Homo-oligomer: A and B are copies of this chain.
C-alpha cells in the first residue's frame, strides 16, 4: 500500500517495515558494475505510476538528461516530488508523464500553472521544508518527523501533514509522514561504476533521497576509479550500495548549469520558460526530446560542440567545487 487517502488527500506513504523489507531483499550490497545508458536505466528502473524525486534545481545540477529520457519513453501517471525545481514539472506534465505533483515549488513559466487550473494535474502542498523532512523520515526509517512550521497555514489542509501534541511541552507540533519514492534521480560530478558518487556544492537532500528511495539512478559528468572514493571518504555523497544504476552523462544537467563544469544556457531556458500553450510545449518536446534517440544525439544535434564549449568556458567559478 504505497498510496494512502485521508478525506480528499492522497499521499504517498509506505509502512517503514515494508520499505525495510524492500531494502533487505531487493537492494544488492555487492560492488558490481552498474553502468547503464540512460535509456537502459530509465527503462529498467522507472515504471508507469512511479513516484519520482530529483535533486537539485532545474538551473543547477538537475538530472535533465534522465528527465528527458523519462519523457522520451513516455512514462505515464508519474507522481513528482517538485522540490526546489522549475521547469521539469512543466515538461513532465506537458508530455503527459506526470499526473500528480507534491509541491514544493511549482515554477516557473505559465504552462504548469495553467495545467493545474485546468485540472490536468493534481497538486498537494507540502512546502519545500516539509518534503525535505519527509525524505529525512524515509531515510531514517521512522514513520514521521515533527516540525514547528506548516502550523496555522492552509498547506495543512491540502497535504496529509497533521498536528499532534508534543509529549514533553504540550505544544501543538506539525508532523509529516515519511516519504519513500520509487525512484530518485541524482546528477553528480563524479561517480564510479559501482555507484559511489560525489556532488560538489550544496544539495537539497541527495543522501536522504538516495537512502529513502527504492531505486536510485545516478547520472555523472565523469566516471572515476573506485579507489578515489576510498582515498577521500569525506567527499563521498552517496556510497555504492544505495545506487542501482550509473549513467555516464556529460552535460547531463543541460540546459541548467553544472557548478564548475558548465554554465546555464540562458536562451534555451528562456525558450522553456516561454512555453505558454500545448502547441509550443509539443513543439519543444518534439524538437528536443522525441526527435532525438538519446542524450548523446541531443547534445550532437540540438546543442552542438561549439555551444558546449562556450558554456564550459563560461563556468569560471571553480573555488570550492572539488
Are B175 and A167 in contact, CB atoms less than 8 angstroms apart? Answer: yes
Give Cα A178–Cα B178 distance, bound, in whole angstroms: 20
A234 at the interface (CB under 8 A from B): yes
Tell me the minimal C-beta distance from A196 to chain B in angstroms: 14
Residues on B with beta carbons closer than 8 Å to the beta carbon of A143: 146, 166, 168-169, 171, 173
Residues on B with beta carbons closer than 8 Å to the beta carbon of A233: 320
For A166, the closest partner residue in chain B by CB is B143
Tell me the minimal C-beta distance from A164 to chain B in angstroms: 6
Task: Please tell me which one of the listed residues B4, B141, B200 contacts residue A234 in the complex, with CB atoms under 8 A apart.
Answer: B200
Are A168 and B144 in contact, CB atoms less than 8 angstroms apart? Answer: yes
Interface size class of A (residues with CB under 8 A): 20 to 34
Give Cα A83–Cα B177 distance, bound, in whole angstroms: 29
Give Cα A164–Cα B142 distance, bound, in whole angstroms: 13
A232 at the interface (CB under 8 A from B): yes
A306 at the interface (CB under 8 A from B): no
A34 at the interface (CB under 8 A from B): no
A30 at the interface (CB under 8 A from B): no
Contact A164-B162, Cβ < 8 Å, known A201-B234, A234-B200, A234-B201: no
Give Cα A94–Cα B233 distance, bound, in whole angstroms: 38
Question: What is the count of identical protomers in the complex?
Answer: 2
Give residues of chain A (52-68) contacting chain B, Cβ–Cβ below 8 Å.
none
A39 at the interface (CB under 8 A from B): no
Give Cα A13–Cα B319 distance, bound, in whole angstroms: 42
A148 at the interface (CB under 8 A from B): yes
Chain A positions 67 through 107: 1 when the CB is less than 8 Å from some CB of chain B, otherwise 0: 00000000000000000000000000000000000000000
Are B173 and A168 in contact, CB atoms less than 8 angstroms apart? Answer: no
Residues on B with beta carbons closer than 8 Å to the beta carbon of A173: 142-144
A26 at the interface (CB under 8 A from B): no
Task: Please tell me which one of the listed residues B142, B235, B319, B320 contacts residue A146 in the complex, with CB atoms under 8 A apart.
Answer: B142
Residues on B with beta carbons closer than 8 Å to the beta carbon of A231: 319-320
In the complex, 12 of the A-B residue pairs with CB atoms within 8 angstroms, ordered by the A residue number, are: A16-B169, A16-B171, A140-B147, A142-B146, A142-B147, A142-B148, A144-B146, A144-B168, A144-B173, A162-B167, A231-B320, A232-B322
Q: 10 closest pairs, A vs B, by CB?
A: A143-B166, A168-B177, A143-B168, A143-B169, A142-B146, A233-B320, A162-B167, A232-B320, A231-B319, A144-B168
Interface residues of A (CB under 8 A from B): 4, 13, 15-16, 140-148, 162, 164, 166-169, 171, 173, 175, 177-178, 200-201, 231-235, 319-320, 322
Beyond the given A15-B169, A144-B173, please list 17 additional residue pairs across the A-B interface where CB-CB is below 8 A: A4-B168, A16-B169, A140-B147, A142-B147, A143-B146, A143-B169, A143-B173, A144-B146, A144-B167, A145-B146, A146-B146, A162-B167, A164-B167, A167-B175, A168-B177, A232-B322, A234-B235
